[in-house]
Chain A
Amino acid sequence: MQLIACPWCGPREELEFSYGGQAHVAYPADPAGLTDEQWARYVFFRDNPKGPFAERWAHSAGCRRWFTAVRDTRTHQFVSVGPLAGSEATP
């Protein structure tokens, strides 16, 4: 049971959090302008690196806020956490 440092609430047990996959995958500005291949890339494909990986997490059973975390996929250690880019609030 890892501790994950929510940017707003501080360290909490991992079961309070839910995983949101790779961070910084923006919804395409013009989906209709994409080829099927490009759209499928957005919908179905994500990176799977060995090492630091920027991910989205939500503190679902806490403040319910989404945040970005960099996690090392080899060790599960969280390297850093921070609010989402463009988020109106800062912790």
Chain B
Amino acid sequence: MSRIEGYGRVDRSRTVTVTVDGTEYTGHPGDTLASVLLAHDARPLGTSVKFGRPRGIGAAWVEDPTGLVQIEEPFPEPMVLASTVEITDGLVARGVNGQGRLSDVADVARYDHRHVHCDVLVVGAGPAGLTAARRAARDGLDVVLVDDRPEPGGTLTGTETIDGRPSREFVADVVAELAADPRVTHLQRTTAFGHYDDGLVLALERRERGASRQRVHRIRAARVVIAAGAIERPVVFEDDDRPGVMLASAARDFLHRHGVLAGREVVVFTSDDAAYSAAVDLHDAGAAVRVLDARARVPEVWARRCAERGIEVSADTQVHGTLGDDRVTAALVGAERREVPCDLLLVSGGWNPTVHLFTHVGGRLGWDPALGAFRPAAPLPGVEVVGAADGTLDLAGCLRQAGGADAPHAEEEHGEPTMVLWRTAGEPARQFVDLQRDATVADIARAVGAGMRSVEHVKRYTTIGTAHDQGKTSGVVASGITAELLGRPIEDLGTTTFRPPYTPVAFAALAGRARGDLYDPVRTTAIHDRHVAAGAEFEDVGQWKRARHYPQPGEDMTAAVLRECAAVRTGVGILDGSTLGKIDVRGPDAAVLLDRLYTNMMSSLKVGRVRYGVMCGNDGMVFDDGTVLRLADDRFLVTTTTGNAAPVLDWMEEWLQTEWPDLRVRLTSVTEQLSIFAVAGPRSRDVVGAVFADLDVGNDAFGFMSWQDTALDGVPVRLARISFSGELAFEVAVSSWYAPALWDRLIEAGRPYGITPYGTETMHVLRAEKGYPIIGQDTDGTVSPHDLGLGWAVSRKKPDFLGRRSFARPQNQDLLRKQLVSLLPVDAATRLPEGSQIVHLAEDGRLPAPPVPMLGHVTSSYHSAALARPFALALVKGGRERIGEVVGVPVGGELVAAQIGDTVLVDPEGARRDG
């Protein structure tokens, strides 16, 4: 037990029990899994991924490359750092041997996000961050302060003095001042993990209470102050991966945060001053300590403090290796590899400023030889880097830099500069650089030997810096060793790119509430519950749920669709067409606008009439189609395909605003306001006539492609003679508020005629039998109206409209363009899969020698009730010239023969539309 009385800020009045690798351990609130394990001198946590070498706790926070655990309870989480897991009663974890494992149960916790706007965001609540936040708050600004640790104060241990008082009192005072300021939001356990354009920072809050487990704060700040501190870096030596080898600052952290002494017999190997405070503190807590300083000159002040305590300090001394089985038992010192017994080997090779958030937004780094590290080289607008993150490592300097006029004061300490030491002499294959990836100096040498000169290439070749820690301790060291091997200065090489996230973020947190039903908005029509009650199967059309078919007991989709098709062709069916895009086009120049947008003439359409229209892009390719109702001289109702409702409105707006702002037209989407039901079939007139008894629905009074307004119990209803099936049909439109009532009336009136609700699949079959294309299914953006056989819908009278000029291009005149045709499988039995290729058959009916000429592909394919056989629509090169020809369609290894025909397979003379 290595818990030391009088140290640490854990709550010793309470006990927390956790289980690691089957053993129960007790700790206190404020402990992490790592501190509990160290307090109990627990055995190493796991083994490394490649070589199976033992792995233990290497650092006290997110930079630890080795102390990975798999959390089992309360919720399974793979590969998290023991150093960052705050313990709670009942926590169950185990060490990770090699790789972690994803949970096989669903995460039921809630995750959410929040948008935050502020004048100043301060990242890091260490001395520099607290000071910067206090300064901004005193300036009257809206301040957000986030810090990833459970408690504020950063690396302040409490042994420092600020403004003449213990540093923890300074922290408490600043925190209280910020808490009293309503314009300050202060969040601990909140990691700013990504920094993006224009002051956007994403921060992940690990919540202790509240409805969600984690919360992503999307913080938009006018100014971002990065006070993220610095991360100590190790020196690489032989067998530096043994458990018990630890960053010097980490041991100090465990002592002052958790009251845990990580070793009793301690060797401190350093090339900078900071490690001396660890030596002194651990000595004072009861450890036997010896310092080995790689530098020729030992800093005076520390030499004195060590001498006072009887800590032996050796200058110009390096650790070359270690001994031990599953943990370190001795350091091998100097070229002679003298054995110095120890159970804790602390290492410090200087400090790397935590510049991640600075570089996420393109900040450039430069090598600072005095500091022996990379630090921000040039300022970024709206971004300030202060304290250790900027390379200001001493406390006095941090406070001064962050504090402005009323900066807190700390005594200056004068020491010796850091010596840049990447590694000591030894066997490269056992000098571990990235302990998580088991990557060594030998791997870097191999990369350099293979000709790599860029640290980015070396990183990818060796995988150094690609693990959970993203090279927080190994990245710059790898650059340094690469530079040494290449014989070039490190400033020429630079360092690898830091990308978000700073620490791993669960996908669940990024997804937030946008999962399951909330993943994407679901749009349902006004009578959705009627479809559900009728047993409909739904299909997704964009965000819409559309009834696809209504299977009766025992029916599969094919059977249901055949039944529904037969009902429409012989009796009456009803379809919910409410998802069609609907645009109200209003204004004195409405007809002019539509004439320019549609291929056909809309200005000649008479009020009360309906016209089918096609829209093309400037390239002359079909973009959308639909019907246009002229409601008044200056008003049209335009329908679009379901999926294109928004794009068509955007398209119309774009031309209106950017090219023809002189046209007086207003466009309004009425898709959701208006519900439309298609009543189709030879008995549709009976049904509609029964519901609207006042209306003359006879063919003379109510002709094809005309509309009429009427009312039902005082509710306005619009009917139109529009048919997408070739049958006599009425489209009945009503305000969506009244849609359920109207639907019920139509169903009721249709009962004597066996009215059959039909879905989109049936609609597709019926329209395909008539050769009506579906834009987006039978077309793909390379198909012109002429290719579809819609040349009749292209005006010859209008001088111009969108796409017209392109029709004259030679490419559009090519006789071998793919044209829409029908395909009838010769065996009258095979349903050709949509997307099937169509190939030319040789004389003997077999495949010709490769390369096999490709003629086109199947775009739509169904079983037809009316034809009592399967049929398809297809785009075929020079298709209309090939009518009557037999082509091949490879289906599952077989070659199916199919005959090309005209697109209209049912009622080619159009006799059925008037009933």
Q: List the interface of chain A (C-beta within 8 A of B).
A: 1-3, 11, 18, 20, 26-27, 31-32, 34, 36, 39-40, 42-44, 56, 58, 60, 64-66, 76, 84, 86-88
Establish whether residues A27 and B659, one from each chain, have CB atoms under 8 Å apart when the complex forms: yes
Cα distance, A87 to B660, chains bound together (Å): 9
Are A43's CB and B806's CB within 8 A? Answer: yes
Alpha-carbon separation in the docked complex, A65 to B220 (Å)? 24
Interface residues of B in 645-660 (CB under 8 A from A): 650, 653-654, 657-659
- Which residues 661-713 of B have a CB within 8 angstroms of A? 661-662
A27 to B617 Cα, complex, angstroms: 13
Complex interface: chain A residues within 8 A of B650 (CB): 18, 58, 60
Contact of B658 among A18, A31, A56 (CB under 8 A): A56
On whether the beta carbons of A1 and B198 are closer than 8 Å, the reply is yes
The distance in angstroms between the C-alpha atoms of A86 and B658, with both chains bound, is: 8
Q: List, in ascending order, chain A residues with CB within 8 A of B654's CB.
A: 20, 58, 66
Q: Are A39 and B196 in contact (CB under 8 A)?
A: no
Which residues from chain A contact B657 at a C-beta distance below 8 Å?
Answer: 65-66, 84, 87
Residues of A within 8 A of B809 (CB): 36, 39-40
Q: Are B804 and A64 in contact (CB under 8 A)?
A: no
Contacts A31-B804, A36-B809 given; indicate if A87 touches B200 (C-beta within 8 A). no
Residue of A11, A31, A32, A44 with most partner-chain B CB within 10 A: A31
How distant is the Cα of A1 from the Cα of B220 in the complex, in angstroms? 10
B198 touches A87 (CB 8 A): no
A32 touching B661 in the complex, CB below 8 Å, given contacts A1-B197, A3-B198, A40-B809: no
Q: Which residues of B contact A76 (CB under 8 A)?
A: 197
Say whether B799 faces chain A, with CB atoms less than 8 Å apart.
Answer: yes
Q: Closest approach, in angstroms, between the C-beta of A1 and any C-beta of chain B? A: 5
- B810 near A: Cβ within 8 Å? yes
Whether the Cβ atoms of A64 and B653 lie closer than 8 Å is yes
Q: State the CA gap A11–B800 with chains docked (Å).
A: 39
Cβ contacts under 8 Å, A40 to chain B: 809
What are 21 A-B contacts with C-beta separation under 8 Å? Answer: A1-B197, A2-B197, A3-B197, A3-B198, A26-B659, A32-B805, A34-B805, A36-B808, A39-B805, A40-B809, A56-B658, A58-B650, A58-B653, A60-B650, A64-B653, A65-B657, A66-B657, A66-B658, A84-B661, A86-B661, A86-B662
- B552, CB-defined interface residue at 8 Å: no
Cβ contact of A43, chosen from B200, B619, B659, cutoff 8 A = B619
Interface residue from A32, A60, A87 paired with B799 (Cβ < 8 Å): A32
Indicate if the CB atoms of A36 and B200 lie closer than 8 Å. Answer: no
Q: Is B497 an interface residue (CB 8 A)?
A: no
Contacts of A58 in B (CB 8 A): 650, 653-654
Q: How far is the CA of A36 from the CA of B619 in the complex (A)?
A: 12
Closest to A86 in B: B661
Q: Say yes or no for B618: interface residue by CB 8 A criterion.
A: yes
Contacts of B805 in A (CB 8 A): 31-32, 34, 39
Chain B nearest CB from A63 CB (Å) reads 11
A76 CB → nearest B CB, Å: 8
Enumerate B388-445 residues with CB–CB distance to A below 8 Å: none
A32 touches B198 (CB 8 A): no
List the 4 closest A-B pairs by CB distance, nearest first: A31-B805, A2-B197, A3-B198, A66-B657
- In the complex, how many angstroms separate the beta carbon of A78 from the nearest chain B beta carbon? 10
CA distance A65 to B657 in the complex (A): 8
- Complex Cα distance, B198 from A69, in Å, reads 17
- Bound CA–CA A32/B799 (angstroms): 8
Residue of B nearest to A28 (CB): B805
**From B381, which residue of chain A is reached at the shortest CB distance?**
A77
Q: Which residues of B contact A44 (CB under 8 A)?
A: 619
Closest to A64 in B: B653
How far does the alpha carbon of A60 sit from the alpha carbon of B657 in the complex, in Å?
13
Query: Given A66-B657, A84-B661: A32 and B810 within 8 A (CB)?
Result: no
Q: How far is the CA of A60 from the CA of B200 in the complex (A)?
A: 21
- Kindly state the separation between the CA atoms of A76 and B197 in the bound complex, as whole angstroms: 10
Distance in Å: Cβ of A62 to nearest Cβ of chain B: 13
**Nearest chain A CB to B757's CB is how many angstroms away?**
36
Q: Are A32 and B800 in contact (CB under 8 A)?
A: yes
Contact of B810 among A11, A36, A64, A87 (CB under 8 A): A36
Q: How many Å from the CB of B669 to the closest CB on chain A?
A: 10
Instruction: Note all chain A residues with C-beta closer than 8 A to B619.
Output: 43-44
In angstroms, Cα B657 to Cα A11, docked, is 21
Q: Tell me the complex Cα distance, A43–B799, Å.
A: 18
Q: How far is the CB of B119 from the nearest CB of chain A, in Å?
A: 15
Complex alpha-carbon distance, A36 and B662, angstroms: 28
Give the complex CA separation of A20 and B618 in angstroms: 14
Q: Which residues of B contact A84 (CB under 8 A)?
A: 657-658, 661
Q: Other CB < 8 Å A-B pairs besides A32-B805, A39-B809, 19 of them?
A: A1-B198, A2-B198, A3-B197, A18-B650, A20-B658, A31-B805, A32-B799, A32-B800, A34-B805, A58-B650, A58-B653, A65-B657, A66-B657, A76-B197, A84-B658, A84-B661, A86-B662, A87-B657, A88-B661
Rounded to whole angstroms, the CA-CA distance of A27 and B802 in the bound complex is 10
Q: Which residues of A contact B197 (CB under 8 A)?
A: 1-3, 76
- How far does the alpha carbon of A73 sit from the alpha carbon of B241 in the complex, in Å? 47
B200 neighbours in A (Cβ, 8 Å): 1
Q: For B661, what are the chain A residues with a Cβ–Cβ distance below 8 Å? A: 84, 86-88
Cα-based distance from A39 to B657 in the complex (angstroms)? 22
Complex formed: what's the CA distance from A20 to B651 in Å? 11
What's the least CB distance linking B431 to chain A, in Å? 42
In the complex, which residue of chain A has the Cβ closest to the Cβ of B596? Answer: A27
Interface centre among A27, A32, A42, A76 (most CB of B within 10 A): A27
Shortest CB-to-CB span from B824 to chain A, Å, is 38
Which residues from B are CB-within-8-Å of A20? 654, 658
| Bound CA–CA A64/B653 (angstroms) | 8
Instruction: Give every chain B residue within 8 A of A65 (Cβ-Cβ).
Output: 657
Report chain B residues within 8 Å CB of A88. Answer: 661
When each residue 796-837 of chain B gets 1 if its CB lies under 8 Å from chain A and 0 otherwise, what string results?
A: 000110001110111000000000000000000000000000
A39 and B806 within 8 A (CB)? yes
* CA distance in complex: A49, B805 (Å): 28
CB closest chain-B residue, reference A14:
B197
Residues of B within 8 A of A66 (CB): 653-654, 657-658
Contact at A1–B799, with CB atoms within 8 Å?
A: no
- Among residues of A, the one whose C-beta sits closest to the C-beta of B115 is A13
**A71–B633 CA distance with the chains assembled, in angstroms:** 43
> CA of A19 to CA of B224 in the docked complex: distance in angstroms?
29
Q: Which of B196, B806, B810 has the most CB of A within 10 A?
A: B806
Pick the most buried of B220, B657, B810: most chain A CB atoms within 10 A of its CB: B657
Residues of A within 8 A of B810 (CB): 36
> CB-defined interface of B192-219 with A at 8 Å, one 1/0 digit per residue?
0000111010000000000000000000
* Distance between Cα atoms of A18 and B647 in the complex (Å): 12
- Which residues in A have their C-beta under 8 angstroms from that of B808? 32, 36
Q: Which residue of A lies closest to B646 (CB)?
A: A60
Q: Which residues on the A side are within 8 Å of B804 (C-beta)? A: 31-32
A1 CA / B799 CA spacing, docked (Å): 44
Bound complex: CA A58 to CA B652 (Å)? 13
| Least Cβ–Cβ distance between B458 and chain A, in angstroms | 28
**Please, how many angstroms separate the alpha-carbon atoms of A43 and B807 in the complex?**
13
Cα distance A40–B805 in the bound complex, in angstroms: 10
A36 neighbours in B (Cβ, 8 Å)? 808-810
Which residues of the other chain, B, contact A31 by a CB distance below 8 angstroms?
800, 804-805
8 Å CB contact of B618 from A43, A86, A87: A43
Bound complex: CA of A32 vs CA of B804, how far in Å? 9
| B121 smallest CB distance to A (angstroms) | 15
Q: Are B658 and A1 in contact (CB under 8 A)?
A: no
Given contacts A84-B657, A86-B661, A87-B661, contact A1 B196 (CB under 8 A): yes
CA of A65 to CA of B197 in the docked complex: distance in angstroms? Answer: 24
Chain B contacts for A56, CB-based, 8 A: 658
**Distance (whole angstroms) from the CB of B513 to the closest CB of chain A:** 17
Tell me which residues from 767 to 822 in chain B have a Cβ below 8 Å from any Cβ of chain A: 799-800, 804-806, 808-810
Considering the complex, give the chain B residue whose CB is closest to the CB of A20: B654
Residue of A3, A18, A65, A76 most packed against chain B (CB within 10 A): A3
